[in-house]
Structures are given as structure tokens and as C-alpha cells.
């Protein structure tokens, strides 16, 4: 691979951009777009997968059409920073299907998560499950999205 972002060349980046837009593109379509035959294109894709740059190909679902239009951002402070507590906390929160994203933060809050549920009642049920599952949460603050203005899974490669 050539120089550039994470050792990717122009062809690699083009393939990645195309796959981020449509993960179902056929090998022949991808190869044609980057002026390769299918075998070298397949080898590039295989190398991108093996290196972990191309992690997986998934379907993106519409939360509104699935009745999951309520988005909450939950910020958490804790006084417990032990390794044992951390591992238990991460494992517990990671098992909640409502949690779409989960981060350890720098700044005022220790953790932040994006939660996707049907409505306020469903969020309240999630909130109670969260706070009753984890000891040592000193502050749990939630904010709610009124309208999504931008959402993308495509990285700027």
C-alpha cells in the first residue's frame, strides 16, 4: 500500500468510500470504478479486511421506521475508578441493546452514551435499569435530541 492515511493509497481510499456508501456493491463494480480487474481489487479488499481497516459490512436501519426514534445522550460521573469497577461497568452497559455508542470521556463527565429507544417511557425504563445495575454512579445526566441534523457512518477517507 502507498503512503497516506493509515498507509492507504488513492485506490484503497476510493474503495473504502464506495463501500461506506453501499456495502453491497459487487466486486466487478468496485474494480471498474478503480480501474482494476477483479482479482487485484479482491486482493486489496482482502488486505483491508485482514488489516482491520475494513472491519465489517452491515445494514443500516431507520430507527424512526422501526419505532425507535427517541435519542438520548447520557453523561455519567462516578467516584469509583478501580479496574474491577470499570470492567464490570463496561460489561454491564455493553450488554444493554439500547446503548448505541459508549465512551470513556475526558472533561466534566467520566462516561457518555448514546441511547436509542421508542419514547420517554422506554427511556425511563432503560434509565432505571441502568442506575439499578451499577453501584457508584454519582451523577447521571440525560439530554434528548429534538431533531437529527446530521448522521453518518462514513469516515472521511
Q: What is the mean pLDDT of each run of 10 residues along the chain (157 residues)?
A: 71 97 97 97 97 95 97 96 95 98 97 98 98 95 97 94
Asked if 86 and 136 sit in the same domain, the reply is: yes
Which structural domain range is residue 99 located in? 63-145
Asked if 18 and 80 sit in the same domain, the reply is: no
Confirm whether 150 is domain-assigned: no
Enumerate residues 6+ apart whose C-beta is below 8 A from 22. none
The confidence score (pLDDT) of residue 81 equals 86
- DSSP secondary-structure letter at 59? P
Q: How far is CA 77 from the centre of its chain?
A: 22
- Count up the domains in the chain and report the number: 2
148 Rama sector, left if φ>0, alpha if ψ -120 to 50, beta otherwise: beta
Is the pTM for the entire model greater than 0.85?
Answer: yes
Asked if 41 and 67 sit in the same domain, the reply is: no
Measuring CA to CA, which residue among 110, 103, 112 is closest to residue 72?
A: 112
Asked if 38 and 91 sit in the same domain, the reply is: no
For helices 10-21 and 38-50, the axis angle rounded to 10 degrees is: 80
Exposed, middle or buried, 19 (CB in 10 Å: 0-12/13-18/19+)? middle
Asked if 93 and 114 sit in the same domain, the reply is: yes
Amino acid at each position: 500500500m502507498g503512503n497516506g492515511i493509515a498507509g492507504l493509497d488513492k485506490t484503497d481510499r476510493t474503495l473504502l468510500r464506495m463501500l461506506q456508501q453501499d456495502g453491497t456493491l459487487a466486486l466487478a463494480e468496485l474494480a471498474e470504478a478503480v480501474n482494476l480487474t477483479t482479482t487485484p481489487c479482491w486482493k486489496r479488499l482482502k488486505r483491508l479486511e485482514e488489516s482491520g481497516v475494513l472491519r465489517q459490512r452491515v445494514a443500516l436501519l431507520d430507527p424512526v421506521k422501526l419505532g425507535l426514534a427517541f435519542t438520548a445522550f447520557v453523561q455519567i460521573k462516578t467516584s469509583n475508578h478501580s479496574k474491577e469497577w470499570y470492567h464490570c461497568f463496561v460489561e454491564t452497559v455493553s450488554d444493554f441493546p439500547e446503548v448505541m455508542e459508549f465512551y470513556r470521556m475526558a472533561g466534566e463527565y467520566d462516561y457518555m452514551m448514546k441511547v436509542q429507544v421508542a419514547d420517554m417511557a422506554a427511556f425511563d425504563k432503560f434509565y432505571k435499569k441502568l442506575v439499578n445495575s451499577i453501584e457508584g454512579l454519582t451523577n447521571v445526566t440525560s439530554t434528548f435530541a429534538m431533531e437529527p441534523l446530521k448522521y453518518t457512518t462514513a469516515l472521511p477517507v
